[in-house]
Amino acid sequence: MTPTARTRTGSTRTGSTRTVQTHCPYCALQCAMDLTVVERPGAPDSFSVDGASFPTNQGRLCRKGNTAAELLTRRHDRLTAPLLRGDDGELHPTTWEAALTHVVTEIRRIQDEHGPDGVGVFGSGGLTNEKTYALGKFARVALGTAQIDYNGRFCMSSASKASTLAFGLDRGLPFPLTDLDAACTVLLLGSNVADTMPPFVQHLEGAQTSGGLIVVDPRRSATAELTADGGGLHIAPAPGGDLILLLSVAQVVLEEGFAAEDYLSRRVTGLDAFRRSVAHWWPERAQAATGVGADQIRLVARRLGHAARAARAGGDPVYILTGRGVEQHKDGTDTARAAISLALLLGLPGSRAGGYGTLTGQGNGQGGREMGQKTDQLPGIRSITDPADRAHMARIWGVDEESLPGPGQPAAQLLHTMGRDGGVKGLLVHGSNVAISAPDAGRVVENLRALDLLVVADFFLSETAEEADVVLPVLQWAEEDGTMTNLEGRVLRRRKLVEPPSSAGPDSGPRSELWIWHELARRLGRPSGFPVDPAEVFAEIRQATAGAAADYSGLDWDLIDAGHAPYWPVPSATLSGEASLTGEPIIGTTRMFLERFAHPDGKARLAAITPGKISAPAPGQLTLTTGRHMEHYQSGTQTRRVPALLDTHPEATVAVHPATALEHGLDDGDQAVIANAQGEMTARVVCDAGIRTDTIFAPFHYAGAGTANRLTQALTDPQSRMAEFKNTPVTLRPAGASRTAPAGVTHDAEPAVTAPSKETRL
């Protein structure tokens, strides 16, 4: 992307029209866009967006991106003043002084009674890097609490853990997205990119044209449809069958001599242990557990094996990509690691033959876990339990190392114990709608109501904000400056274009979270160390991450502003010697692991992977899996407010195979009740011949009776603590029909956690 006057200054002015180049407020593809405002005296401003030239989206935008400017025109439901719950039980507008005074008074009272960990913080993968960093610092320095985590724990923590175990480092795509353009074969597991990030699909066209796109999904999604007419293969395992499917493919690769023996001997350890563990999963045995025929398993293995062998000899590369469908299981880390292990067997990671990557979902999902809001991490992907890392951050923050708390509870445990004995009594929520997005959402709402203090910062009154004692109005994406880190590890500039809407009174109007944390810290007796200017926070990030795995120290705020999109790590501002598509030098580390992996010995790790017990659905049960519509994003707080998006998908639906619908007395368009011990949801039936007969699919964007996460269980992966979203036993019946005893698990005082197998306890 060649720098221009506009990208250097951040704006151009032609009369009453102003334009900035920025990035989309939605997913981690972070498509570049030109955002324009036309200021009209005496009339509301109008906004428009156009796709801008950038390697990830190449000028394209999806439906969400094309309508993103509509969020800036809403006035009737935009939060413009703090809200405080009164004695009548209702939320009423108040001043910032009154709201912050109430918050501080309650924080002090709770911590006096229950200690520092009586108050917790819940963040988001949608916050900028600067706000993510400041939130982690605020929790640990101003509040002194260990109880901080974020909604990224629900999105990518299993792949993050698996990548760290295997490679020694977590960067979602350790190569530029444009590398996929040259691929002859791509194995894509558990990701419907055609709906979730449509501009991504153009990077799969090469594999599709060559017939090498292999999509693994229990339903024939829009992405799976790309394999039609010779584009590749669609493999439809039962939900939760991905792990054994991958192990069985690996077994065939080893048995039939497709493994990259020279690569493995030079660059990988643990092959013998992994080989022994997959020997149990020959295709004829695996087909019963996966629902995929032995012939299909061998076909996938042979296609990958031949393509990778040719790639190692100088042919077109091969890639294995995973998404949330692989991770959001109680064995998600093992499943993601099985995908990485298959890639290592084929000699792909860190080579010109291809690679492995995982597709981060939220806009700043990558940066969100690098900057310190994960309960076990400090900025730069430093460990909160490592003495050297703790000492480094204590120096940067100007505090005693002993004052820094250790790790707290991961997201699901934090939410499912809050308001109860042993849980937090106060919670500050920033940029997350846990009443919709958290597993066992009904229980989460009950717990929100049991808190002594719930503070929610948002720009719309989300379902979580509706439960709050205090609601703090904050800035939207075009009202603030900051940086985001996309799914490739590129650090991007988000640019301010307009001021937030005003509200009556001088002590009102939306404010930045940076200002909020500064003011709260000052009132709590921590007056320094919380800058309000994002550029100042970014300068501190550079110091905090210096020498860390995710090193931002060589970056420069103005350089990013000039249109560069550097890849971390950037330990110094030295050009890499490579060139972008426009011939411009690239800053940072575009391709990871070319010389060595991030473990001390430079080698990647294979290890034995042993699946847990596989439970077949009980008679009368179906398996619910959840996901997204193209037109909606996450909990729908933003997209359900855009008419063009809501009109396309205005209500909760459930995709059901026609034969399954008939068996349950349902027809297309009927209202159905999906139920289990967690709760129930109501949704309109959409008959879909492309889904397995034992599986139903519901999007998770909706509130009220259409909340899919009322049904998901509080089961978590023992290694990553990610919740099980994709494999929920349920019953299905027509709305109005009598209810039979629901299937599933019952509430426990603590969330259920599966024990790791002996072979995978690391």
pLDDT tens-place string over residues 633-680? 888 788 888 889 888 889 999 999 999 999 999 999 999 999 999 999
Q: Average pLDDT for residues 587-614, to the nearest whole number?
A: 93
pLDDT of residue 762: 25
Torsion of CA 306, 309, 312, 314, to 10 degrees: -60
Q: How sure is the predictor about 1, in pLDDT bands with cuts at 50, 70 and 90?
A: very low
Indicate whether 349 and 373 sit together in one domain. no
d(CA 239, CA 190): 10
d(CA 661, CA 720): 36
Instruction: Give the sheet arrangement for strand 232-235, strand by strand.
Output: 232-235, 213-216, 185-189, 318-322, 354-358
Torsion of CA 174, 178, 179, 180, to 10 degrees: 100
- Token pair for 266: 């030079």
pLDDT of residue 639: 83
Indicate whether 126 and 271 sit together in one domain. no
Indicate whether 287 and 429 sit together in one domain. no
Return the higher-pLDDT residue of 494 and 8: 494
Beta partners for residue 377, in sequence order: 383
Torsion of CA 7, 13, 14, 19, to 10 degrees: 50
d(CA 188, CA 702): 27
Domain of residue 653 covers 622-760
pLDDT of residue 649: 87
**How many CB atoms within 10 Å of residue 101?**
14
What percent of the chain is helix, strand and coil (3-state, nearest 5)? 35, 20, 45
Please give the DSSP secondary-structure letter assigned to residue 511: B
What is the residue-averaged pLDDT of the chain? 90
pLDDT of residue 504: 61
Candidate from 213-222, 267-276, 743-752 with smallest mean pLDDT: 743-752
Return the higher-pLDDT residue of 573 and 500: 500
pLDDT of residue 637: 84
CATH number at residue 236: 3.40.228.10
pLDDT of residue 563: 67
Residue 187 lies in a domain: yes
Q: How sure is the predictor about 580, in pLDDT bands with cuts at 50, 70 and 90?
A: very low
Query: Is residue 724 helix, strand or coil?
Result: coil
**How many CB atoms within 10 Å of residue 602?**
14
Indicate whether 150 and 161 sit together in one domain. no
Candidate from 47-56, 205-214, 654-663 with smallest mean pLDDT: 47-56
d(CA 73, CA 638): 12
pLDDT of residue 508: 79
Beta carbons of 352 and 260 less than 8 angstroms apart: no
Last residue of a domain, one of 325, 344, 363: 363
Residue 610 lies in a domain: no
d(CA 138, CA 149): 13
Indicate whether 332 and 405 sit together in one domain. no
d(CA 81, CA 186): 49
pLDDT of residue 3: 34
Residue closest to 170 by CA, chosen among 371, 445, 319? 371
d(CA 516, CA 473): 10
**Does pLDDT of 422 surpass 70?**
yes
d(CA 165, CA 142): 32
Q: How sure is the predictor about 582, in pLDDT bands with cuts at 50, 70 and 90?
A: very low
Query: Is residue 105 helix, strand or coil?
Result: helix
Return the higher-pLDDT residue of 409 and 8: 409
For Cα atoms 432, 10, 514, give the angle at the middle one, nearest 5 degrees: 35
Quick one: 89 exposed, middle or buried, by C-beta within 10 A (0-12, 13-18, 19+)?
Answer: exposed
Residue 485 lies in a domain: no
CATH number at residue 429: 3.40.50.740
Angle between helices 534-545 and 129-137 in degrees, nearest 10: 70
Beta partners for residue 681, in sequence order: 674
Candidate from 25-34, 485-494, 641-650 with smallest mean pLDDT: 641-650
CATH number at residue 630: 2.40.40.20
Indicate whether 128 and 143 sit together in one domain. yes
Indicate whether 673 and 700 sit together in one domain. yes
d(CA 311, CA 284): 29
d(CA 628, CA 195): 7
Q: Average pLDDT for residues 705-731, to the nearest whole number?
A: 91
- Which tens digit of pLDDT belongs to each residue from 228-243? 999 999 999 998 899 9
Beta partners for residue 12, in sequence order: 19
- Which tens digit of pLDDT belongs to each residue from 138-181? 999 999 999 999 998 988 889 999 999 999 999 999 999 999 99
**Does pLDDT of 474 surpass 80?**
yes
Please give the DSSP secondary-structure letter assigned to residue 140: I
Region of 251 on the Ramachandran plot (φ > 0 left; ψ -120 to 50 alpha; else beta): alpha
- Token pair for 106: 């309650």
Indicate whether 204 and 347 sit together in one domain. yes
Return the higher-pLDDT residue of 75 and 760: 75
Quick one: 571 exposed, middle or buried, by C-beta within 10 A (0-12, 13-18, 19+)?
Answer: middle
Return the higher-pLDDT residue of 40 and 742: 40
Beta carbons of 591 and 173 less than 8 angstroms apart: no
Return the higher-pLDDT residue of 539 and 757: 539
Query: What's the domain count of the chain?
Result: 4
Cα–Cα distances (Å) from 209 to 181, 205, 214, 301, 600, in that order, read 11, 6, 12, 20, 40
Beta partners for residue 587, in sequence order: 575
Indicate whether 530 and 424 sit together in one domain. yes
pLDDT of residue 579: 41
d(CA 358, CA 320): 8
Indicate whether 232 and 292 sit together in one domain. yes
Residue 87 lies in a domain: no
CATH number at residue 64: 2.20.25.90
Cα 117 to its chain centre, rounded Å, is 26
Residue type, 237: P
Residue 114 lies in a domain: yes
Which residue's structure tokens are 């963040």?
A: 123
Last residue of a domain, one of 309, 338, 363: 363
Residue 589 lies in a domain: no
Q: Average pLDDT for residues 298-311, to the nearest whole number?
A: 98
Please give the DSSP secondary-structure letter assigned to residue 111: H
Cα 351 to its chain centre, rounded Å, is 27
Last residue of a domain, one of 39, 72, 105: 72
Residue 559 lies in a domain: no
Residue 42 lies in a domain: yes
Any residues with CB less than 8 A from the CB of 445 and at least 6 apart, and which?
A: 435, 467
Candidate from 79-93, 368-382, 575-589 with smallest mean pLDDT: 575-589
Residue 741: φ, ψ to 5°: -60, 125
Please, where are the H alpha helices in 168-229? 193-196, 205-209
Cα 338 to its chain centre, rounded Å, is 20
Q: How sure is the predictor about 699, in pLDDT bands with cuts at 50, 70 and 90?
A: very high
Indicate whether 336 and 393 sit together in one domain. no
Indicate whether 257 and 133 sit together in one domain. no
pLDDT of residue 505: 67
Beta carbons of 164 and 189 less than 8 angstroms apart: no
**Does pLDDT of 95 surpass 70?**
yes
pLDDT of residue 744: 39
**Does pLDDT of 354 surpass 50?**
yes
**Does pLDDT of 56 surpass 70?**
yes
d(CA 318, CA 180): 8
Upper half-sphere CA count for residue 247 (Cβ side, 13 Å): 30
Query: Is residue 577 helix, strand or coil?
Result: strand
Cα–Cα distances (Å) from 611 to 243, 255, 334, in that order, read 7, 20, 8
Give pTM, 2 decimals: 0.91
